[in-house]
Structure 1
């Protein structure tokens, strides 16, 4: 039982690292990407650019450019989001 718990915890941790991932949707692979600046407060996926937190659901401001959500590749621009490079530039410009 402990082996299964450790294995599932390790798998969950690996999936939340935030690298561009592939998700299996039926038999079709759907590419995902980080989309910055589109998450509502408390609805971010994992850590932020600034490193002030390292868990999902800890954002405190809507549409913070340092917070991200995992979206289907190509949908980020449609939602008005930013790439990580654009998000870093916007944060630097704000400070």
Structure 2
């Protein structure tokens, strides 16, 4: 029983990881700049190396992944 659960969990994880990477390639999400809270950005900025390193709220070069078409509806959100 434990072996079946372990295999099921591993397969689920692999499928989810594949689906997550497809969302970028299919254009389902977009980078939305200027809306991340301090320390909550998705990836690198001009002054920091990667996720969770923005220094202030709404930092201009920090971005979050949002569903396509959502960014421009968020106050302060921009696509570049």
- What's the TM-score once normalised by structure 1's chain length? 0.55
How many residue pairs match? The answer is 60
Partner of 2:24: 21
The correspondence for 1:32, drawn from 11, 29, 34, is 29
Give the conservation status (yes or no) of the 8 Å contact 1:47–1:55. Answer: yes
Unaligned 5+ runs, structure 1: 1-7, 23-28, 85-95
Shift of 1:44: 0.2
Relative contact order (alpha carbons < 8 A, sep ≥ 6): 1 or 2 greater?
2
- What's the TM-score once normalised by structure 2's chain length? 0.65
Shift of 1:72: 0.2
Partner of 2:69: 74
The aligned runs of 1:46-65 (5 Å cut-off) are 46-48=43-45, 50=46, 52-65=47-60
Unaligned 5+ runs, structure 2: 1-13
Partners of 1:21 and 1:67 lie apart in 2 by 18
2:42 corresponds to 1:45? yes
Shift of 1:55: 1.0
Normalized per residue, the structure richer in strand is 1
Give 1 or 2 for the bigger CA radius of gyration.
Answer: 2
Structure 1 moving runs of 4+ over 2 Å: none
